[in-house]
Amino acid sequence: MGYKTKEWRNSMRVTLDYNNMTDTFLGAQGFTAKKLASFNRKATAAFRYVQENRGKDELYMGWTELPYNQDEIVADILATAKEIRNKFQYFVVLGIGGSALGPIMAFNALCHLHYNDLPKAKRKGPKFYVEDNVDPVRMRDLLDVIDPAKTCFNVVSKSGATSETMTQYLIILDLLKKAGVDVKENVIFTTDEKKGNLKKISDEVGGIKSYILPDGVGGRFSQLCPVGLLPAAVVGIDIKGLLAGAAYMDRVCRYSSMNKNPALMCAVLQIAAMEEGKNIGVMMPYSDNLKFLADWYCQLWAESLGKNVTLDGKPCNVGQTPVKSLGVTDQHSQVQLYTEGPFDKVVTFLSLKKYACEMPIPHGCENIPDVAFLGGHTMEELIQAENAATAYALTKAGRMNYTLWIPELNAFTLGQLLFLFELQTAYAGAMLNINTFNQPGVEEGKKATFALLGKAGYADKKKELDSLPEKNQNCII
């Protein structure tokens, strides 16, 4: 395992290049050294806040210690994953939000892009699915391609009261009973250690295999705990490498100076841009494997920073809207807006220095210059050239952008990216003086859903919904 040697770890370091955020490259649209220096005090205070509160469950900052405190859990997960690979043909995660986005992201990043289509001998593991919605068509179509009796279902919910996840569980439970399968044989819970509905169900059934979602770890910060580690291990991802990469980035970011701490600098760049009206943050990976990392980041950034009150109770309505984009694909759909539209965006490029393969482009069509010039190059060269060209075009147009350079994509470098983004988010929240780790804005929709479905205790909310004005038919055309 390469990550055990210092030389290899350093060769795999993810680095930040923010030249294209500065006045040297953007002119009047860029930050001066003086402007960035004006954030020194605020950045140092944010760093200290995060450091002083590391590991505090009551503040939901237990995620900071996940790279260091899970040796026994990891050993158990690896053993369980081996059993699952030997016993089951399918592995299905039932969850929503971070419980689903994390496993999807890691699977897409580190497994074959057509993993489920590979022959079993090449997959070396069960077919993998993550169900994170309650669209009935989606559930029907899943059941068309799996056999529940041959499937391990990982039900992920801290409270066991997540309506979407528990709906899925009830459907699967019914199917398993009809097939004569003991739920304990085919279901694993990831939930709270001492309370919640999944704990009650496990106790009633007589002990369903369960992993703990730690108290101090919110869903969007949970990829590096059993929520994400079990699914990753089942499909053969090196989960020790993920945690080692996270620990490495944690050490890289041990400095209080933003000029030495890439996560802190990323936070400063975004906060400084937001202060100048750049309220849209575009994440643009130039890798199909990293496509869903942008989805995962969108939840992390939006749910953490979109708040309407500060820690001291003052109204604020802060946050930056995250947008996902994929290079090269979205050069042909979104980049026109980014280069010539409003000056309200910051683009973060995720750029690979080395892809898993090169894929040579053969010579051909020699009588057509527009095509012939491609021959003799590789697809790796082409995508890297298009990445550089897009960054150049944005910079020439005065549009802020910066790049996170990834030497190559593996478990270690992915672990670095995850921890960097988590730290960046924590620093940014501290700089905005908000609670980064709650999500009160989600609750109103949940309560309204409960009321509409007649859940006990929500009669007043149902009356509130029923008291809405009648629809104006003139507004329906």
CA-nearest of 240, 198, 246, 170 to 99 is 198
How far apart CA 128 and CA 120 sit, in angstroms, is 12
CA-nearest of 417, 399, 423 to 273 is 399
Q: What is the DSSP letter of 404?
A: E
- Cβ burial, residue 89 (10 Å; 0-12/13-18/19+): middle
Would you tell me how many other CB atoms lie within 10 Å of the CB of residue 355? 18
Contact 59, 53 (CB under 8 A): yes
CA-nearest of 94, 77, 73 to 85 is 77
How far apart CA 238 and CA 258 sit, in angstroms, is 31
What is the per-residue DSSP string for 415-469?
HHHHHHHHHHHHHHHHHHTS-TT--GGGHHHHHHHHHHTT-TT-HHHHHHHHTSP
Could you tell me how many residues make up the chain?
477
Three-state SS at 147: coil
The encoded tokens of residue 17 equal 């290049």
Which residues are catalytic, by number? 303, 332, 446
How far apart CA 140 and CA 127 sit, in angstroms, is 17
CA-nearest of 7, 30, 10, 19 to 398 is 30
Q: What's phi and psi for 45, nearest 5 deg?
A: -65, -40
Contact 14, 265 (CB under 8 A): no
The encoded tokens of residue 404 equal 């996170």
How far apart CA 229 and CA 115 sit, in angstroms, is 18
